[in-house]
Amino acid sequence: MQSFNYLAPHSQNELCQVLCNTAGKIIAGGTDMLPQMRNLKQTPSTLIDISHISDLRYIQESEDEVLIGALTTWSDILESPLIQKTAPALAQAASLVGAPMTRNRGTIGGNLGNASPAADSLPPLLTLDAIVHLNSQSGQRQVPLRNFLTGPGTTDLKADEYIQQVSYKKVALPFGNVFNKLGPRQGMTISIASVAVLLALDANGKITLARIALGAVAPTAVRCPDAEAFLLGKEPSTELWQEAAHQVRKAIAPIDDVRGTQEYRHHIAGILTRRALQTAYLSLQE
């Protein structure tokens, strides 16, 4: 490994000071950062290891919100009854991140900071209208996730800031929240495309809430506002899902890579969306 100056603050205060005084790169679980340092995509001269800041690892709820500390691991998330209840798609996505070893180390804050277009946590968080809480010496800032993600691997995080937590408003029960992903193999796989949907119906069975987000099909994970607007007020049906899937295909801009072609991504984005909507709908019938 290349050499670097190593700092390991043990509290958020310490971290704020470090970030204020030093231009450094933050490392949390290391599951993304270390491979990137290995292939020289990251060459930090100072590495700020935040893994010892114990009060950044939590899943909490207030009356109307759920708060997830930046150092919360995927295993924490997928095992959390609170997340399973309030954000089942996020729990599902967490269970499909890499393999157990990655899930035991990889953190939600790291995933947000790394901002891979294919990150599995992002579509579910987007359907929850998640807010990213940033902190620095000069104060706190809350940024909606969809604004936080600015491009492949880039975010709105400032040099002196760190991700403190991510929060989302609880959605009134009942709702359906489903994550669906397809990778080039079954185990330990990176998405060719992924989708999360959130769906709620009124007493008459009309759609009152529809949120759709996709991963790995655009420079960032994206919401599909047109498809969502189209669904509102309508009655669920196979044809409706089909039409929503069609809208979704128009909203994305996939590329070719080693995992899949642009054309194939276009094709499956719609199918995964349609299926996720149907699964979410069925979960509401239970």
Partner 1 sequence: MQRIQVSLKVNGKKYRLETPPNRTLLEVLREDLGLTGAKDGCSSGECGACTVLLDGRAVNSCLVLIGSADGHSIETVEGLQKAGMPHPLQKAFVEKGAVQCGFCTPGMLMAAKALLDQNPKPDEEQIRTALAGNLCRCTGYTKIIDAVQEAAKELRYE
Partner 2 sequence: MSENTLIGKPEIRVDAWSKVTGQAEYIADFPLEDVHFGYVLRSPHPHASIRRIDIAKALQIEGVLDVITIEDVPGEKIVGDIIPDRPVLAQEKVRLVGEPVAIVVATSKYVAEQGGKAVKVDYQPLIPVFDPVQALEEGAPLVHASGNLVSHIEVQDGDPKAGFQEADLILEETFYVPHIYPGYLEPEAAQAQWNPDGSLIVWVSSQKPFHDRHLICQVLGLPEEKVIVRVATVGGAFGGKEDSSLAILAALAAWKTKTTVRLVNTREESLLAHPKRHSGQLHYKAGFKKDGTLVTMQVTSYLDTGAYASYGPAVGQLHSEVVTGPYKVPNVRVDTYVVYTNSPIAGAMRGFGAPQANFAAESLMDIAAGKLGIHPVDLRRKNIWRPGDRSYTRVRINQAESLQLSLEIAEKEYRRLKEIPASPGKVSGVGLSLSVQTMGLGFRVPDDSAHALEWLPDGRVRLYLGAPELGQGLMTVAAQITADALGLSLDKIEIALLDTSQVPDGGVSCASRMTYSVGNATIMASRQLIQGLIEEAAKLLDVEPAALYYEKGHVVRKDRPDLAPIPVSEITSRLAENGQILKRQAVFSFPYGPETPDHLPIGMPHVLFCFGAHVIRVEVDPELGTIEPKEIVAIHDVGKIINRSTLEGQVEGAISMGLGYALMEEMKLKPDGKWVDNLTEYLLPTIMDMPPIIKTVFLEVPEESGPHGAKGIGEMGLTPVASAVANAVYDAIGVRVKAIPIRPEAIIKSK
9 vs 117, beta carbon nearer partner 2: 117
Query: Which x/- pattern, by CB under 8 A, does the window 124-163 give for partner 1?
Result: ----------------------------------------
Phi, psi torsion values for 245, nearest 5 degrees: -60, -40
Which stretch in 26-34, 116-124, 134-142, 157-165 sits in contact with partner 1 by CB under 8 A? 26-34
Measured between alpha carbons, how far is 30 from 149 in angstroms, rounded to an integer?
Answer: 20
The tokens for 107 are 């953190």
Query: Considering only residues 23-62, where is the footprint of partner 2 by CB under 8 A?
Result: 39
Query: Considering only residues 123-162, where is the footprint of partner 2 by CB under 8 A?
Result: none
Q: Is 278 left (phi over 0), alpha (psi -120 to 50) or beta?
A: alpha
> Residue holding tokens 């290349």?
2
Interface residue with partner 2, options 182, 198, 216, 221 (CB under 8 A): 182
Residue 236: CB minimum distance to partner 2, A: 18
Q: Give which of partner 2, partner 1, none residue 59 binds (C-beta under 5 to 8 Å, depending on kind).
A: none
Interface residue with partner 1, options 100, 144, 152, 205 (CB under 8 A): 100
Q: Give which of partner 2, partner 1, none residue 6 binds (C-beta under 5 to 8 Å, depending on kind).
A: partner 1
Contacts of 71 (CB under 8 A, 6+ apart): 28, 29, 50, 51, 53, 56, 57, 107, 109
Which stretch in 12-20, 52-60, 70-78, 261-269 sits in contact with partner 2 by CB under 8 A? 261-269
Query: Which x/- pattern, by CB under 8 A, does the window 39-68 give for partner 1?
Result: --------x-x-xx----------------
Task: Identify the three-state secondary structure at position 273.
Answer: helix
CA 229 to chain centre: 22
Q: From residue 34, give the alpha-carbon distance in Å to each of 40, 61, 138.
A: 10, 32, 29
Q: From residue 20, give the alpha-carbon distance in Å to each of 39, 47, 138, 139, 160.
A: 28, 14, 9, 12, 5
Measured between alpha carbons, how far is 68 from 244 in angstroms, rounded to an integer?
Answer: 31
184 binds partner 2 (CB under 8 A): yes
39 vs 204, beta carbon nearer partner 2: 39
Residue (of 246, 244, 172) closest to 212 by Cα position: 244
Residue 117: CB minimum distance to partner 1, A: 20
Interface residue with partner 1, options 23, 38, 85, 238 (CB under 8 A): 38
Query: Residues in the site for partner 1, rule: CB under 8 A?
Result: 1-6, 8, 27, 29-31, 34-35, 38, 47, 49, 51-52, 75, 98-102, 104-105, 186-188
